[in-house]
Amino acid sequence: MAVAGKRIVFFTTLVLLWQGIVLLGIWPESMIPSPLSVANEIYAGFKDMTLIWDIVASFRHLLIGFAFSLIIGTLLGVMLAKVKALDETLGSMILALQSVPSIVWVPLAIIWFGFGEASIIFVVIIGGTFVMTMNMRIGIKNVPPLYLNAARTMGSKGLDLFLKVVVPAAIPHAVTGVKLSWAFSWRALMAAELLSSGPGLGYTLAYASDFNNMSLVIGIIIIIGTIGAIVDQVIFQRIENNVLKRWGLDERNP
């Protein structure tokens, strides 16, 4: 059976089990609403354009923050890989900060920037920068010495060596860093929007929770997960697979 068929069967079974739990009355519907109730909330949100504008707002925050994450993360990664003193000092701090959950930065962002878009973008930048930094650092530091020695024997050095040998060799790690940075940025965005003044999917999720609208809460969670999975599979996973295949690093396609 094809992957698409397996997924259809899996999610259909999951929805049927969900409906079965609702019919058995194991939990009250105020806690676990029926799939139909969730579908109706999603439909109503798209019909009155509320969810459309929330998605647009969330992607605006995401794209701005994600772009800054890639730029800052790439520059920091190159610096850490090339300057040993920075790697031993700043690098250890970035490694520690990478393990800090994005939601921890939200109170600090609110104190510094208030409840507006600046706070959200700040948290997104923080969420995606460190993972990009560490992947870029690893990619540059792991360039095979054979490549460097061969290029040097042909007269390449300095910036020419970096641009023509180091950067191409580091691309697989950089692409993985972009993919992971997207995932971390997306999660950071939702954490930040939960405490924002709107609009955005996270804000609407918090609003629905405040009014105990569990159908909308679950509906938005499904939308967030679906968008994340689609972007990862359709865009970043394909880019990563193509790069790994081109660089001969995909064991499934030797």
Whether 6 is in a domain gets the answer no
Which three-class secondary structure state does DSSP give residue 158? helix
The 10s digit of each residue's pLDDT in 48-87 is 999 999 999 999 999 999 999 999 999 999 999 989 899 8
Whether 254 is in a domain gets the answer no
Whether 221 is in a domain gets the answer yes
| pLDDT of res. 248 | 65
The CATH code of the domain that includes 48 is: 1.10.3720.10
Whether 23 is in a domain gets the answer no
Q: What total number of domains does the chain contain? A: 1
Whether 49 is in a domain gets the answer yes
- At residue 181's C-alpha, the angle toward residues 180 and 185, to 5°, is 120
Give me the domain span that covers residue 140: 34-246
CA distance 105 to 99: 12
Task: Give the mean pLDDT of 162-174.
Answer: 85
| pLDDT of res. 254 | 46
C-beta of residue 41 within 8 angstroms of C-beta of residue 213:
yes
Query: CB under 8 Å to 165, separation ≥6 — which residues?
Result: 143, 147, 148, 151, 156
The 10s digit of each residue's pLDDT in 215-242 is 999 999 999 999 988 888 888 888 878 8
The 10s digit of each residue's pLDDT in 97-146 is 888 888 889 889 989 988 888 999 999 999 999 999 999 999 898 888 88
Q: Which comes out higher in pLDDT, residue 3 or 165?
A: 165
Whether 240 is in a domain gets the answer yes
Q: Which comes out higher in pLDDT, residue 3 or 67?
A: 67
| pLDDT of res. 251 | 53
Whether 20 is in a domain gets the answer no
| pLDDT of res. 126 | 94
